[in-house]
Amino acid sequence: MKQPESFSGSTRPLGLVVIGASSGGLEAIIRLLKHLPTQFDVPTAVVLHQRANRASGIPEMLAKYTHLKVQEPEDKEIITKGHLYVVPPNYHLLIDSGELLSLSLDAPLNYCRPAIDMTFLSAAEVFRQRLAGCVLTGANDDGARGCVAIKRHGGVVLVQDPQQAAVDIMPRAAIAATMVDEVLTVEVMARKLTTLAVGADP
Interface pick for other proteins out of 27, 60, 74, 182 (rule CB under 8 A):
74
Query: Residue 142 catalytic?
Result: yes
Position 100 contacts other proteins (CB under 8 A) = yes
Q: Please name the amino acid found at residue 137.
A: T
Position 33 contacts other proteins (CB under 8 A) = no
Please report, in angstroms and rounded to a whole number, the separation of the first and last CA atoms in the chain.
24
Position 1 contacts other proteins (CB under 8 A) = no
Q: Please name the amino acid found at residue 39.
A: Q
The catalytically annotated residue of 117, 141, 142, 181 is 142
Residue 73 Cβ vs other proteins, minimum distance, rounded to whole Å: 7
CB of 125 or CB of 168, closer to other proteins: 125
Find the binding residues for other proteins in span 109-138 (CB under 8 A): 118, 121-122, 125-126
From the CB of residue 4, how many other CB atoms can be counted at a distance below 10 Å?
6
Query: Residue 104 catalytic?
Result: no
Return d(Cα 82, Cα 79) in angstroms, integer: 9
Determine the Cα angle at 44 with ends 76 and 110, to 5°. 80
CB of 69 or CB of 76, closer to other proteins: 76
Q: Characterize the bridge pairing of strands 92-96 and 131-135.
A: unpaired
DSSP track, 45-111: EEEE--S-SS--SHHHHHHTT-SSEEEPPPTTEEP-TTEEEEPPTT-EEEEETTTEEEEE-PPPBTT
Query: Residue 141 catalytic?
Result: no
Binding region for other proteins (CB under 8 A) out of 10-18, 91-99, 129-137, 167-175? 91-99
Find the binding residues for other proteins in span 135-164 (CB under 8 A): 153
CB of 27 or CB of 111, closer to other proteins: 111
Residue 69 Cβ vs other proteins, minimum distance, rounded to whole Å: 17
Question: Which amino acids are annotated catalytic?
Answer: 22, 49, 142
